[in-house]
Amino acid sequence: MSGCVIRSIDAIDARFELPAGAGSDAVHTNPVYAMALTHLATDSETTGVGLALTLGSGNALVCEAIRMLAQPLAGKPIDEIMAQFGSVARGMANDPALRWLGPHKGVVHLALASITNACWDLWAKSRGVPLWKLLLDLDPEALVAALDLSYLEDVLTPAEAVAMLRNESATRAERETILRTGYPGYDTSVGWMAYDEAKVRALTLQAMDRGFKAFKLKVGSDKEERDLRRAAMLRELTGDAGILMFDANQRWNAPDAMRMCRALAAFRPLWIEEPTHPDDIHAHVELARAIAPVRIAAGEHVPNRVVFKNFLLYGGVHYVQADCTRLAGVSEFLAVSLLARKLGLPVVPHVGDMGQIHQHLVLFNHIALRHEAVFLEHIPHLRKHFVHPAEVSEGVYRTPQQPGASCDMRET
């Protein structure tokens, strides 16, 4: 067991240049992708690695917060930490000196995401299994003990969470076929904001050739007609069979969002994503009513399970884009997944991790929680930097087999 004791914690500020225009959207015009990495060193060669995505200089703040927050983990066996990780995470989230900076949002919460993901990675590696298998092998009580469900009690108690997991276990076997078949990806990289129309066209055709059937387009241009023209082109290219999603990255105020969402609905997207400020539940509810049957997707900037609970109770979101690198890691992602299951909404993660961790979580959600594996965002930007990059072939995410949460990165 000595190899599973955390000996020291380090935070690494890793930054990555992107090709021109890649990653650009309506509010992040020239992003530098950055990972705030948590490294949990042990007595053995095994290192737990966790990550959170940021977009540049602020990454240093998250790394510093990781160093402040993670110290209580040093000297403890990972099994002991994870046996009651709900309490451990709650203790870190409520650190009396740091809680004031949120609570449960912003820099400190991103740090908790990275730390939490490193703990899950180390736990899975210490057992020699991929994260999805670790999660599936835990009994319901053990899984729920690893989650902080505080402030959800009016909708979901720990006992209910255990009961939900137990109820679904009878029919697990029929859903385990997904481990062999994989599940679809959707391609976000065809439609970055800075790409001109010729490039969007060429990339979409390539993606269709490679087996993708669903595509995301960035909207929220300075000139509205540009959004409409690009949307029309994409619909024409993919035909009626193409599944389109439009992503405004919070650009519009509420009245502009109403006007633009109505105009874009003509191109029959599955969803419009982040149409306005991510804190504006009321505006999302109004939009959701106005543009049906087009749906609202949001979550990449919904900071925690409590805000998700509010979005769900008020009806401000249909596709729950939880992200374990924005929420407090794998644990809060699972808390939100339980909540969404209880309230009958699908979880389609946003991939701040480029899909590395979420490829595991979609499998767990599908098999253990009967969340349909609709599809998972695919962004291969940082592929070459991962030791075990997510494998997407013929438009399908393939089941990862290496131990851990697929967060190991090459030296950069």
Report the nearest approach of its own copies to the CB of residue 78 (Å): 25
- Is residue 280 a contact residue for its own copies (CB under 8 A)? yes
Out of 275, 303, 400, 403, the residue judged to bind its own copies by CB under 8 A: 303
Nearest to 118 by CA among 70, 50, 71, 69: 50
The pattern of x and - marking residues 252 through 271 that bind its own copies according to CB under 8 A reads -xxxx---------------
| Nearer to its own copies (CB atom), residue 268 or residue 301 | 301
Report the nearest approach of its own copies to the CB of residue 220 (Å): 13
Query: Pairing relation of β-strands 396-397 and 183-191?
Result: antiparallel
- Is residue 94 a contact residue for its own copies (CB under 8 A)? yes
SS3 119: helix
Active site (catalytic) residues: 218, 350
CA distances to 113, 114, 331 from 293, in Å: 34, 36, 32
Report the nearest approach of its own copies to the CB of residue 96 (Å): 5
| Nearer to its own copies (CB atom), residue 142 or residue 285 | 285
Report the nearest approach of its own copies to the CB of residue 281 (Å): 5
- Is residue 106 a contact residue for its own copies (CB under 8 A)? yes
- Is residue 358 a contact residue for its own copies (CB under 8 A)? no
- Is residue 54 a contact residue for its own copies (CB under 8 A)? yes
SS3 56: coil
**Would you give the end-to-end CA distance of the chain in angstroms?**
31
- Is residue 159 a contact residue for its own copies (CB under 8 A)? no
DSSP 383: G
Residue 170 CB neighbour total at 10 angstroms = 8
- The residue assigned the tokens 């438009």 is 395
Separation CA 267–CA 127 (nearest Å) = 48
Helix, strand, coil percentages (3-state) for the chain, rounded to 5, are 45, 15, 40
CA distances to 253, 302, 311, 336 from 280, in Å: 10, 10, 9, 19
Binding-site size, its own copies (CB under 8 A): 62
Report the nearest approach of its own copies to the CB of residue 15 (Å): 10
| Nearer to its own copies (CB atom), residue 258 or residue 348 | 258
Q: Which residues bind its own copies (CB under 8 A)?
A: 27-32, 53-58, 60-62, 64-65, 68, 94, 96-110, 150-154, 250, 253-256, 276-283, 286, 301, 303-304, 306-307, 309-310, 313-314
